[in-house]
Structure 1
Amino acid sequence: MRFALDDEQREFGRTLGRMLGAADVPAAVRAWAQGDHGPGLAVWERLARAGVFGLAVPEAFGGAGPLPVEAAVAFTELGRHAVPGPVVETAAVSVLLTRLAEAGRPVLAEAWLPRVCDGGARVTAALPGAPGGSPYALDADVCDAVFVAPGGPDDLFLATGHGPVQPSLDPARRLALPRCGAEPVAAGRAVREAVRLAADWAAFAAAAQVLGVGLALLERTVGYVRQRQQFGVPVGAFQAVKHRLADVRVGLEFAGPLVYGAAVALAAGAPGAGAEVAAAKAAASDAAYAAARAALQLHGAIGYTAEYDLSLWLGKARALRSAWGAPADCRARTLDLFSL
């Protein structure tokens, strides 16, 4: 497959990058980790105005999509700037409700998707019955709705509350167990199909996000080794350092086309889209994790300090590696799907 972003898609990514670069996202991430969502929600408002939350939503419900390739561009930038909040889960819920609407059940989509697109509502999901899903909902305490598909019967619930908020490997990823309502808001085979597609989109968005995290770690590490000196020369001048960073770059360069290939497969509704997504998630997670290990080693002691901004990306690389499918699970799923 030959694939390259067009000029408009590249400019979209550059625009998002400039916008997030001017938004002091690291301060918003630190506040989010302490339960102060104000600065992070201000960033979300900017993303909503830029159309990010409408990329997985059809025009009929206020969006511009579904546009998986543009979503890959956007989520890579969200990872590159460590944006907090349930951005991946928002895309998953958007796809879930859209698929239910396509199956003749538009009520939930009509009630929620226009508000999601314009930033007026925040949503998240817990899909333990789906591949890569978890019983925990991300940032349930800041969301207006938590959609839960527990598996077993093909039921979809709207949570009525949640348990205590718990930290994760990334302090800004706050998890909670949702409490389901007594009656499902949707049921049947349509729910099963919608949850499956939503999980694929979640894994795809997480792959793009963790790819952006890896790129940010590499950029920051390259900048650091050019400045840090040892024996009177920059650390980056040593061959061992160059080789380590070159290996990281190669891993990220190989993961990128897999992410965009998964986007193309999702856009086409290809039968093998799930396998493409799983392969992309495995490759991007491993590449970002390698970038995190190299960044930590080459920064030395300062890399371990929570006060240094590098820690924001290190924690996110670790958490996103297992979110919506750990690499080993994704590889197993890829093999299973390709063997069908």
Structure 2
Amino acid sequence: MRFALDSSHTDFAASIDSLLTKSDLPAVIRSWNAGDTAPGLKVWQRLAETGLNALTIPEEHDGIGADAIDLVVAVEQLGRHAVPGPVAETLAVAPALLAGVAPERLSALAEGALATVAAPPRVPFAVDANVADLVLLVEGETVSLAAAGESKVSVDQARKLYTVTATESLGTTDTEHAFDLGALATAAQLLGLGSTMLETTTEYAKARKQFGKAIGSQQSIKHHLAGVAVKLEMARPLLLGAAMAVRDGSADARRDVAAAKVACGDAAYHASRIALQVHGAIGYTQEHDLSLWLTKTRALLTTWGTPSLHRARVMDAL
């Protein structure tokens, strides 16, 4: 099986990376944390202009009709920059749900509308329902429009969680497929988060000196960072393989998505622990940018399926 990405994927990823690099995401995230979502919504508008929001939406509904590989390539870049907002919900879950119950609403998503989804008990709260243009509630196979209720605290200040209440039933569809897409997109975000934490920690280790020498020259630091790199690189083919399985409608797609979610989550969490260990306590302070990546990683570990849930799915498949 071939996992190499072609030039269209790498070019699209590079364009998203360039846009986000110029957007000063740490400042945008801190504004979002404080309740000022305007800078973040402007970033989402610029992303929509690249065609990101239209990726998985069929062409007959003003979308691009791209596949799951395009999705994970793009979402990994959003993870690398820790973009705030309902990423997996807007780009993966809501399009899949609406395609089955209300395809006439897909055009709005393609044009840049944000969507969020709650699917209790596995996804009990809707993230950023306060800024989403569309709030959906999944109960079994039933999809409904919903209204935001009480807010809940998240370890990631950029993830505002809300209870939701159904207001209008849209119909029934294959909600398990949408759940799998949510897990796949979250896995891509986690891989991106882990990659950035490795890069920033490596640069810090090169610059930080103790007793006249860069701490990165110490063998123990090198080994820790190498271990992170290995975990991330071993998770990547699982992510791409899962995307291929989803694209091809493989019977093993659910198993492969679960394996990817576990592997990417483990790799990102390991990257976060090593990043904090190398930086020291300053890395967890709100003043340091690393804290923005650490808290998002911790929050996404259990989003769209906990590690134990996805491990159980792999075991059931075997």
From 115, 118, 130, the equivalent of 2:111 is 118
Are 1:85 and 2:85 an aligned pair?
yes
How well do the aligned residues superpose, as a CA RMSD in angstroms?
1.2
Aligned residues: 317
Cα displacement (A) at 1:304: 2.0
Cα displacement (A) at 1:2: 2.4
Deviations 1:68-121 (A, max 9, x none): 1111111110000010000101120101112x1xxxx5xx221x21111111x2
Taking the TM superposition and a 5 Å limit, the aligned residue runs for 1:1-340 are: 1-90=1-90, 91-98=92-99, 100=100, 105=101, 108-110=102-104, 112-119=105-112, 121-128=113-120, 133-151=122-140, 154-159=141-146, 161-181=147-167, 183-187=168-172, 191=173, 193=174, 195-336=175-316, 338-339=317-318
Cα displacement (A) at 1:276: 0.5
* SS state at 2:280 partner: helix
Question: Hey, what's the Cα distance between the residues in 1 that align with 2:205 and 2:309?
Answer: 35
The one-letter amino acid paired with 1:135 is P
- Aligned partners of 2:123 and 2:305 also within 8 Å: no
Gaps of 5+ in 2: none
* SS state at 2:143 partner: strand
The one-letter amino acid paired with 1:185 is L
Could you tell me the percent identity over the aligned residues? Answer: 46
Report the TM-score when normalising by structure 2: 0.97
Cα displacement (A) at 1:19: 0.7
Question: Hey, what's the Cα distance between the residues in 2 that align with 1:122 and 1:253?
Answer: 31
Question: Hey, what's the Cα distance between the residues in 2 that align with 1:73 and 1:304?
Answer: 28
Question: Hey, what's the Cα distance between the residues in 2 that align with 1:304 and 1:185?
Answer: 43
* SS state at 2:2 partner: coil
- Aligned partners of 1:128 and 1:149 also within 8 Å: yes
Question: Hey, what's the Cα distance between the residues in 1 that align with 2:137 and 2:198?
Answer: 36
Question: Hey, what's the Cα distance between the residues in 2 that align with 1:67 and 1:36?
Answer: 33
Cα displacement (A) at 1:221: 0.2
Question: Hey, what's the Cα distance between the residues in 2 that align with 1:201 and 1:178?
Answer: 21
Question: Hey, what's the Cα distance between the residues in 2 that align with 1:213 and 1:316?
Answer: 8
* SS state at 2:304 partner: coil
Cα displacement (A) at 1:328: 2.0
Deviations 1:230-262 (A, max 9, x none): 121100000000000000000000001111111
The one-letter amino acid paired with 2:260 is A
- Aligned partners of 1:141 and 1:165 also within 8 Å: no
